[in-house]
Homo-oligomer: A and B are copies of this chain.
Amino acid sequence: MGSRPNPGDLVRVVKGGLVLEGVVMPTTEFSDPNSLVIKLSNGYNVGVDVRDARIEVLKEKMYEVGKVPEAGETSVSGSGKMKMSFISTGGTIVSKVEYETGAVKPAITAEELIEMVPEYKDEFSSIEVLELYRILSEDFTPHEWGELARITYNKLRGGADAVVIAHGTDTMAFTAAALAFSLRRLPTPVMLVGAQRSSDRPSTDSVLNLKACPVIAREAPFGEVVVVMHGSTSDTYVLAHRGVKVRKMHSSRRDAFQSVNDVPLARVDFPSASFKLLNRRYLKRSSPSDLELRGKFSDRAALIKFYPSMDCGVIDHFLDKGFRGIVLEGTGLGHVRNQCISSLRRAVEEGVLVAMTTQTLFGRVNMKVYTTGRKLLEAGVIPASDMLPETAYVKMSWLLGNYGDLNLDELRKLFLQDVAHEINPRHELNLYPRWFHGE
């Protein structure tokens, strides 16, 4: 090769019989020095090993680098039928490398979204991009859940046919559950989408995840909050998981998100972009005028994972600080050590909502089988059925936010009531994944 081109340059790469033209993407401290990432005109990024390639600069500084736009609203129009509202909260999917510093900044405009997914021009009549936050998903709080619920509600009231929310994957499942509890009787799916590989990388999963969104908006019979992420490690299909039943199950794989104790609602196969409903139990789409918002969240709920010899004082810590709800992530069918029962009894006596989930994640709590479970029930602990610990935590924050003036008995009843199919009354055998046992 000749001299290495600069980020932003338009180049032609000749390698073997292959000729590629595109714009050089910036490198980061994690980039392979032998590799160059080029954004093609169709929006895709391709990685090229430059060691045996010939590279010709067609135009220097094709794009201006080093600028991250101000947050705000941008829009473009297209030739399709649906109105799409894209709300960015940050995360890998909308992150780009700042050309000068190498730092990654979450920022996106409507133009940039169209660059990533040119198909959007054909699917949508208009694409509004709202850059709501530029925060890391680990810094989300119930405050952001409430704000995001309200804004989503307004977009749907304003006639959006598809709402896509870009979100960091770390706490995406929590936010999905929060929106699922907040937005009642949805006219169309609300889709959270993220990426496990940054959009600047050739192996990015963001493009396929984004491509699945209009298909789901068009075809899905359900009006639910869903997480739209890869179903496999390759670009073969994308799943729509029910927001209250999904969990990030792997730190880095592209198919990290999986439904637990439920079947994914739907899949979109590629390259055909065909929609397939997988789960017949869903909340149907409602008329837009029936949409209801219950979007308040309390920050007085806590999640405590139990482990052998856990200091029960941690329960009292939360009580002393004025917390109003505690979700326990117990062992097996829903147990914690007997020593903690007195602190839990104190909690219930002080009017604090206490619920039990299981750290096995799969399966359901059943506190009637063993002595400890029965004692916990007597102390007033609520068995949270097959709810994920994370979902139970969000539900508690939501209940305390919207119905905090109800008494404990009424709150307990509401907690056990199924709101968004967070409780699955029937577990088929196929809900438990198949593990490698040497076959």
- Does A139 lie at the interface of the complex (its beta carbon under 8 Å from any beta carbon of B)? yes
- Does A318 lie at the interface of the complex (its beta carbon under 8 Å from any beta carbon of B)? yes
The SS class assigned to the A binding surface is loop
Asked if residues A251 and B365 are in contact (CB atoms below 8 Å), the reply is yes
Can you list 10 pairs linking A and B with CB atoms under 8 Å apart?
A141-B308, A170-B332, A174-B308, A233-B429, A249-B360, A250-B362, A252-B364, A255-B432, A263-B436, A433-B436
In the complex, residue of chain B having the shortest beta-carbon distance to the beta carbon of A397: B309
Asked if residues A253 and B432 are in contact (CB atoms below 8 Å), the reply is yes
Asked if residues A363 and B250 are in contact (CB atoms below 8 Å), the reply is yes
- Does A189 lie at the interface of the complex (its beta carbon under 8 Å from any beta carbon of B)? no
**Residues of B contacting A30 in the complex (Cβ-Cβ under 8 angstroms):** 368-369
CA distance A175 to B308 in the complex (A): 9
- Does A264 lie at the interface of the complex (its beta carbon under 8 Å from any beta carbon of B)? yes
In the complex, residue of chain B having the shortest beta-carbon distance to the beta carbon of A332: B170
- Does A67 lie at the interface of the complex (its beta carbon under 8 Å from any beta carbon of B)? no
In the complex, residue of chain B having the shortest beta-carbon distance to the beta carbon of A362: B250
- Does A163 lie at the interface of the complex (its beta carbon under 8 Å from any beta carbon of B)? no
Most B CB contacts (10 A, CB to CB) among A306, A308, A321, A363 go to A308
- Does A256 lie at the interface of the complex (its beta carbon under 8 Å from any beta carbon of B)? yes
**Residues of B contacting A334 in the complex (Cβ-Cβ under 8 angstroms):** 251
- Does A381 lie at the interface of the complex (its beta carbon under 8 Å from any beta carbon of B)? no
Smallest distance from the beta carbon of A260 to chain B beta carbons, Å?
9
Asked if residues A435 and B259 are in contact (CB atoms below 8 Å), the reply is yes
CA distance A435 to B323 in the complex (A): 37
Asked if residues A393 and B138 are in contact (CB atoms below 8 Å), the reply is no
In the complex, residue of chain B having the shortest beta-carbon distance to the beta carbon of A168: B332
Most B CB contacts (10 A, CB to CB) among A305, A330, A361 go to A305
Task: Find A331's partner among B170, B317, B436 (CB 8 Å cutoff).
Answer: B170
CA distance A337 to B138 in the complex (A): 5
CA distance A432 to B436 in the complex (A): 8
**Residues of B contacting A364 in the complex (Cβ-Cβ under 8 angstroms):** 251-252
CA distance A142 to B139 in the complex (A): 34
Task: Find A360's partner among B139, B250, B311, B336 (CB 8 Å cutoff).
Answer: B250
Query: Knowing A363-B251, A433-B435 touch, does A329 contact B305 (C-beta < 8 A)?
Result: yes
- Does A358 lie at the interface of the complex (its beta carbon under 8 Å from any beta carbon of B)? yes
**Residues of B contacting A263 in the complex (Cβ-Cβ under 8 angstroms):** 436, 438
- Does A335 lie at the interface of the complex (its beta carbon under 8 Å from any beta carbon of B)? yes
- Does A406 lie at the interface of the complex (its beta carbon under 8 Å from any beta carbon of B)? no
Smallest distance from the beta carbon of A394 to chain B beta carbons, Å?
9
**Residues of B contacting A308 in the complex (Cβ-Cβ under 8 angstroms):** 138, 140-142, 171, 174-175
